[in-house]
């Protein structure tokens, strides 16, 4: 979610939101975040 604050944009993560591409529309953003953080911390 994007919010305009003055001249800056602020972004909020909505973990339950699904990805926009039709091939990935069944994947929630939280799944992607989990994958990235597990890979980074391994």
Q: Residue 11: is it exposed, middle or buried by C-beta count within 10 angstroms (0-12/13-18/19+)?
A: exposed
Sequence spans of domains, the chain: 15-42
- Going by C-alpha positions, the residue among 36, 29, 2 that lies closest to residue 14 is 29
The pTM of the whole model exceeds 0.75:
no
The string of pLDDT tens digits covering residues 6-42 is 888 888 899 999 999 999 999 999 999 999 998 766 6
Q: How far apart are CA 5 and CA 31, in angstroms?
A: 29
- Cα diameter, the chain: 39
Backbone angles phi, psi at 32, to 5 degrees: -65, -45
């Amino acid at each position: 979610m994007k919010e305009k604050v003055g001249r800056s944009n602020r972004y909020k993560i909505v973990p339950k939101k699904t990805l926009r591409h039709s091939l990935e529309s069944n994947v929630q953003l939280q799944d992607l975040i989990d994958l990235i953080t597990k890979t980074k911390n391994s």
